[in-house]
Amino acid sequence: MQVRLVAAVALLAVASCGPAAPPASTPAADSGLTAAQRAAIGRKIWQNESGGSVNGLTHWNDGEEFPSLGIGHFIWYPAGFNGRFNETWPQFIAYARQQGASPPAVALAKDCPWNRKAEFQAAFNGAPMTGLRKWLASTVTLQTDFIIHRSRGALPKILAAAPADQRARIQANYQKVATTPNGQYALIDYVNFKGDGTQVSERYKGQGWGLLQVLANMNEVPAGQPAAREFAASAKRMLDRRLANSPPARGESRWRAGWHNRCDTYARPL
């Protein structure tokens, strides 16, 4: 298994910095993960985001200007809102349609049809949102494959964005983490959780918290479980730095315990 996982990572490392992701038609074959491992990763991500609940598949966090949908809590912006975070819901819907899925009509709107949390909550048990949750609950494998697909495109982007003198170390750290199934889960989940770290808008005071920053700030450790544990520790350090830099009005410190708990799962066997 380790050889197959490392081979998958090596393919990423030599990829060009052009198209960031492979064709959407073969996520399972290209991921280097068994069907059982992919299913376990999907369950973990769903648990991380909403405790594995069906109601949690359509959610609007306090203090945010947009809802979060699906097992990966994909962001969907209302019309006229231009946020700093990568809007992933339209990307997922495009991916789902490429795979031959038929999302419900409400999912196909250009912009989120609910403009405020109160409006979203009022519509929570209505037919459109109930139907959306039912569809999301039936497409967990599809959502997992989309999250893996996004993660696989992260390394070339990270290497292109990183300072030249850090690229070899970042690539080496990625490969060290990827040699265990839980390390693969960590790399996949973190891109969905906090992004790849290349988007300038996803920074506070010029400092990011994505996969780029986590890999760049890992301490020197051997490959395998030590690397997975250090990845978890580095992720917590980067998230604590984000909290320290975040605008006080956002009150992000309330998420610290949950974020740390999520990172702790990276250090445990899948």
Q: pLDDT by residue (tens digit) across 141-171?
A: 999 999 998 888 899 999 999 999 999 999 9
C-beta atoms surrounding 204 within 10 Å = 17
pLDDT on residue 63: 83
Rounded Cα–Cα distance for residues 173 and 62 (Å):
35
DSSP SS3 for 15: coil
Together in a domain, 167 and 90: no
Same domain (yes/no): 148, 165: no
Q: Are 203 and 124 in a shared domain? A: no
Pair (83, 141) in one structural domain: yes
User: Which one of 128, 152, 176 terminates a domain?
Assistant: 152
Amino acid 115: pLDDT = 95
Asked, for residue 33, whether it belongs to a domain, the answer is no
Counting DSSP H helices and E strands in the chain, the numbers are 13, 5
pLDDT of amino acid 24 = 39
Nearest CA-CA partner of 97 in 135, 134, 129, 153? 135
Full-model pTM? 0.80
Tell whether 242 and 185 lie within a shared domain.
yes
Alpha carbon distance 173, 176 (integer Å): 5
Q: Residues of the chain whose pLDDT is less than 50?
A: 1-30
- Which residue is listed with tokens 């992933």? 88
160 and 270, same domain (yes or no): yes
Structural domain harbouring 245 = 1-20+153-270
Domain end residue (candidates: 120, 152, 184): 152
d(CA 197, CA 202): 7
What is the number of residues in the chain?
A: 270
Give the pLDDT score at 86.
85
**Rg for the chain, CA atoms, rounded:** 18
pLDDT of residue 31: 57
- 227 shares a domain with 202: yes
